[in-house]
Amino acid sequence: MAAAATANAQESSSGGGSGGMSTAMAASLKKGPWTSAEDAILVEYVKKHGEGNWNAVQKNSGLSRCGKSCRLRWANHLRPNLKKGSFSPEEERLILHLHAKLGNKWARMAAQLPGRTDNEIKNYWNTRIKRRQRAGLPLYPAEMQRQVLSHHTRPLNCDGFAPVSAKPAELQPPLAFDCLKPLNPQQQRQPPPPPLCFDHPKPRPFFESSNSPQILNCDCYPLPSQMPHLKRFSDRAMSFSARASTLSHVALAAAPAPAPGPLSFRQMGNFGMARRLMPQLRGSDMGMEFCGLSEPSIPFNNGGSSSFSIKMELPSSQYAESVSSNTGSGAPPSGGGGPSPMEVVGPTAEPLGQSNSGLLDALLLGTQPMSGCEESGTPVHSQSNFWKNLPPPPQPQVMPANSNCKVEWTAAEDTILAAPSPATPCALDDSSSAQSSMGMNVKLKKEEMGEKDGNRMEEEEELSTLLDFSTPSGAPPIADWYSDSTEMSNAQSGVTDSPNTVVFEEDMGLEMRHLTSSLSSNDQIWALGSYAWNNLPGIC
């Protein structure tokens, strides 16, 4: 291994201190690359004593390595059956899928990928993020995003769009901004909202069930849990890049400042607002969530002809004054500049309404308590009828007239933005309801069995779903949804035979099949991670 080779040359290298250890202890323990001799010692030790009790390795084997280092070395390099080399397309698909389900649970993902380590998967994922970010592609294939969205979307009304005015009480700022309130300790212990989050400190899997209020707005797209992290957010800030073809990049920075507490932007619909908020927020504490974002370019169709994406890794000092001027004023080019339907004063000192926009509206709606099918008792469409039952285009619920539905989508923009489908929440809810039946069952069982057992059960179901290679007879083959990935092999057209693909198909539910079967060209759908909007029924 190259590492071993380099280790020989760097045998004397060592890093900094070792946390938790005394100075003397830390000084006595070697750091840095492992040598082949050390590897041999460790392997020999494990052969004799087995894994575990790693701290005893140093004592018993003479290795000048801390237990953790031994464990990592063994787990990542020395243990047998480790698979080296690049990931196979099947593995990549599985990773993608697992990440959608589990979030940044590398260890759990690794458990599903024999021979692969969590670190390996993490590196792969991070590389993928970077790659796709550069390419302007969504982290997840659009279909996957849609699926994810369906998992996390709760409608206001299962019967269709409920006018905003129908539930004025729920739009009251205190409620709408509930997520922005500092969480009390107990709340903080509760699972964070689903990973529509832009760099939630504890990224949540897309498919994870949640009781949290869910996004509603069509434009609100789940973000992969592995978005650049808040720590980085605070460190490097972020920019909201305008539509590549029309807008210059604008930056938004989060200046370090005491945070009132974990905040959650269910929907980050307005950069002006964001900018007003963020300087008061310490990114790492924010728990900020962005939805409506597709990674890496997150379309913010906050009105007018412009939508915005997020670009990370800008110096925190890069404040873009243009942010508010472009987007924050609530005066989108085509929107008439009026305030959004709702004006909300959040916990921040500054009124937000003045900078409100369509996405802020979405944010507000997104924070409404879900009153979904579970509550309304509305029958859930069968999965097989999911696409057939797409309702006619709904009346705009929140999106202002300048919503993205009126945005002219160019092919190039589509490819870049891979915009979320502004599918009707109802339709999405159908999907989510159908798809989430399992999750709901799990939840019910959870309540019966206790949270812990429920979690285990959920995992088991998750796992069984993943590992269920069966395919319903007569089901059309799944589209090669991942063909949009430039890094994927082009020879994946036959992946339908792949167990992983089947697994994915199973797990993702049938709606995908309906979608894909309803569209003439998979390439059109997936080629660039975006939908062929004109082919989507019942949208806009």
- Judged by the rule CB under 7 A, the positions of this chain that interact with DNA are 1-7, 9-10, 14-20, 31-34, 51-56, 67-69, 71-73, 76-77, 84-86, 104-108, 118-120, 122-124, 126-127, 130-131, 134, 203, 226, 228-232, 235
CB of residue 12 to DNA, shortest distance in Å: 12
Contact 200, 228 (CB under 8 A): no
Instruction: Give CA–CA dist 100/95, Å, rounded.
Output: 8
CB of residue 89 to DNA, shortest distance in Å: 13
Instruction: Give CA–CA dist 147/507, Å, rounded.
Output: 10
Q: Which is nearer to DNA, 52 or 379 (CB)?
A: 52
CB of residue 102 to DNA, shortest distance in Å: 7
308: which strand partners?
242, 300
Instruction: Give CA–CA dist 298/314, Å, rounded.
Output: 16
Region of 47 (left: φ > 0; alpha: ψ -120 to 50; beta: rest) is alpha
Region of 280 (left: φ > 0; alpha: ψ -120 to 50; beta: rest) is alpha
DSSP-derived pairing of the beta strands 308-312 and 238-242: antiparallel
- In which residue are the tokens 């059109």 written? 524
Q: Which is nearer to DNA, 18 or 147 (CB)?
A: 18
CB of residue 531 to DNA, shortest distance in Å: 25
Q: Which is nearer to DNA, 16 or 80 (CB)?
A: 16
Cβ neighbors of 288 (< 8 A, separation 6 or more) are 197, 198, 199, 200, 230, 233, 263, 264, 265, 268, 281
Contact 274, 265 (CB under 8 A): yes
φ, ψ of residue 295 in degrees (nearest 5): -90, 145
CB of residue 513 to DNA, shortest distance in Å: 30
Q: Which is nearer to DNA, 102 or 434 (CB)?
A: 102
Q: Which is nearer to DNA, 19 or 258 (CB)?
A: 19
335-357 CB burial, b ≥16 within 10 A, e <16: beeebbbbbbebbbeeebbbbbb
CA distances from 35 to 2, 7, 50, 66 (A): 11, 5, 21, 15
Contact 217, 153 (CB under 8 A): no
CB of residue 18 to DNA, shortest distance in Å: 5
Cα torsion at 76, 81, 83, 84 (round to 10°)? 70
Cβ neighbors of 306 (< 8 A, separation 6 or more) are 242, 243, 246, 247, 326, 327, 332, 333
CB of residue 189 to DNA, shortest distance in Å: 8
CB of residue 88 to DNA, shortest distance in Å: 12
Region of 313 (left: φ > 0; alpha: ψ -120 to 50; beta: rest) is left
From the CB of residue 374, how many other CB atoms can be counted at a distance below 10 Å?
A: 16
CA distances from 104 to 101, 140, 311 (A): 9, 14, 20
CB of residue 482 to DNA, shortest distance in Å: 16
3-class secondary structure, 463: helix
CB of residue 193 to DNA, shortest distance in Å: 16
Q: Which of 337, 357, 197 is nearest to 272 (CA)?
A: 357
The helix (run of H) or strand (run of E) holding residue 9 is helix 2-9
Q: Which is nearer to DNA, 7 or 364 (CB)?
A: 7
Q: Which is nearer to DNA, 127 or 382 (CB)?
A: 127
Instruction: Give CA–CA dist 237/134, Å, rounded.
Output: 17
Q: Which is nearer to DNA, 109 or 532 (CB)?
A: 109
Q: Which is nearer to DNA, 115 or 499 (CB)?
A: 115
Q: Which is nearer to DNA, 87 or 387 (CB)?
A: 87
CB of residue 27 to DNA, shortest distance in Å: 12
CB of residue 449 to DNA, shortest distance in Å: 15
Q: Which is nearer to DNA, 9 or 37 (CB)?
A: 9
Q: Which is nearer to DNA, 68 or 249 (CB)?
A: 68
Per-residue DSSP letters for 21-39?
A: S-HHHHHHS--SSPPHHHH
Contact 436, 430 (CB under 8 A): no
Q: Which is nearer to DNA, 124 or 198 (CB)?
A: 124
CB of residue 199 to DNA, shortest distance in Å: 8
